[in-house]
Structure 1
Amino acid sequence: MPGVKEAMLRRRSSSKVTDAAPNHAEVAAYVETAGQLADHSGLRPWRVIEIRGDARNTLGDALAKADGAKGKDAEKFRGKAHRAPLVLAIVASFKPSHKVPHWEQEAVAAGVAHGLTLLLDDEGWGVFWRSGELTRTDAVRSAHELGKYEELLGWLYVGGLPAGGKRDRPKGRIRVGDHLSVL
C-alpha cells in the first residue's frame, strides 16, 4: 500500500477534468481527514464551502463583477467557474487568540487545502487549486458569504480524470539544495 511519501511525489494538478465528482458524503470524509493536521491551540481556523451546479454561476458572476467585466467578458468568468463539477472554496476563519497570529491560522487553512488535494488525488480525482487577484475582492467575499474575520484562500476545482487518467505534465523533482539549508 503506497504511503504519504508516494502520494506526495505522485500528486499533480489536473486542469482538465470530467463531469464526475465526489458526492457530499465523500467530500465530508475528505474534509474530516484533512482537518487532522497540526493546529496550534486547536483553533480549527478554517472552513470549506462546497459549490456545485448552478451555484458555480454565483462564483462566476462574482468574479466578473470584481473584474468589472461585461457581456462576453463576463461570460468567460462564468465559464471558468464551470471548469469542474465541484469547486471547494477554502476559507481561513480567524479566531481570537493571543498565542496564534493570523498568519499561522491562515497557514493551517492552507494546510487543509493541501491535504485535500493529496486526498482527492490519491482517491483518483482530478484537482487543481485556483486563486488570483480577484480572490479577496468585495464581490467575491460577498458571494461566499464570508464573515468579518474570514478570508478566502482560493478554490479547489475537482472532477473526474479524463480517459486514461492522465494528469498534467509531470513535474520535475525539486532541487533540494535550493530549498534546504542547515543553520
Structure 2
Amino acid sequence: MTGALEAVRARRSWSRVTDAAPSHAELLTLVSAAGRVADHSSLRPWRLIELRGSDRERLGRAINKANGDRGSSSKPLRAPLLIAIVASYRKSSKVPRWEQEAVASGVAHVLSLLLDEAGWGVLWRTGDYTRSKAIAKAHGLGKNEELLGWLYVGGKPPRSRLGRRRAVDARHHIARMPKAKAAKADDHAE
C-alpha cells in the first residue's frame, strides 16, 4: 500500500507544464487501469476525448463562442494534451445519474494520479462553459452526456519552481455516525 499512499500524498496540480506529453499508447495503458474504479452495475458511464495539436485550437474557438467572445481562447494551449472527461449516462433503474457522474469523476481522478506517478504534470480544469452548447458540439457529445472538464497534461517543469501543498488534517473531515436518540414513550403510544 505504500506505493499508492505515497503517490496520493505526492500529487499536486501543475498549472504550468512543458511541451512533452504521454503517447497515445501510454495513455491507453493508464486509462485501462483508471477504468477499474468502483462502478455499480459495471455501466462504465464515462468516456474520454484526447485533444492534441489543432484540436486544442478548435476548443479555444468553442470556449470563446460559449463566452460570447470572438476569436480563440488560449487556455487550451497551456498544455500539449487535454483529456476531456465525459459523463455518459446510461439508463438504469439501480444506478442514479449522480452515481454515474461520480464514477466518471473517479476515473478522471485516478487517471490524474496515474499520470502524475508516471511523471506527467496534470491539472483538472473546469469552467462555466463546460456545459455550454458550443463546447458540447465541439466535443461531439450526445444528449445523454455532460462534460466534466479537462485534464491538462504535459511535462513537469523543474522542481525548483514547486510550492508545497499543506497536508490535510483528516480529523476535521471524518466523524462517527451520531448516536440514535432514545424514543420517547408517547412516540409509540397508539
> Shorter-normalised TM-score: what interval?
over 0.9
Identity of aligned residues (%): 56
Name which structure has the greater RCO, CA cutoff 8 Å, separation 6+: 1
Q: Confirm whether residue 148 of structure 1 aligns to residue 143 of structure 2.
A: yes
Q: Which runs of 4+ in 1 moved over 3 A?
A: 165-168
Identify unmatched segments of 5+ residues in structure 2. 178-190
Q: Deviations over 1:129-154 (max 9, x none)?
A: 00011110010000000011000000
Separation in 1 of the partners of 2:8 and 2:168?
13
Indicate which of 159, 173, 177 corresponds to 1:179: 173
Q: What's the TM-score, normalizing by structure 2?
A: 0.90
Partner of 2:44: 44
* Kept after mapping to 2: 8 A contact 1:34/1:112: yes
Offset at residue 5 of structure 1 (A): 0.7
SS in 1 for 2:33: helix
Separation in 2 of the partners of 1:144 and 1:66?
13
Identify unmatched segments of 5+ residues in structure 1. none
Cα distance change on mapping 1:142 and 1:118 into 2, 3 Å? same
Indicate which of 149, 152, 160 corresponds to 1:157: 152
Q: Confirm whether residue 81 of structure 1 aligns to residue 76 of structure 2.
A: yes
Map of 1:1-183 to 2, 5 A cutoff? Answer: 3-70=3-70, 74-75=71-72, 77=73, 79-162=74-157, 164-165=158-159, 168-183=162-177
Q: What's the TM-score, normalizing by structure 1?
A: 0.93
Separation in 1 of the partners of 2:53 and 2:17?
15
Letter of the structure 1 residue corresponding to residue 138 of structure 2: A
Cα distance change on mapping 1:154 and 1:28 into 2, 3 Å? same
**CA-atom RMSD in angstroms:** 1.4
Separation in 1 of the partners of 2:32 and 2:2?
21
Q: Which has the larger radius of gyration?
A: 2
* Kept after mapping to 2: 8 A contact 1:11/1:121: yes
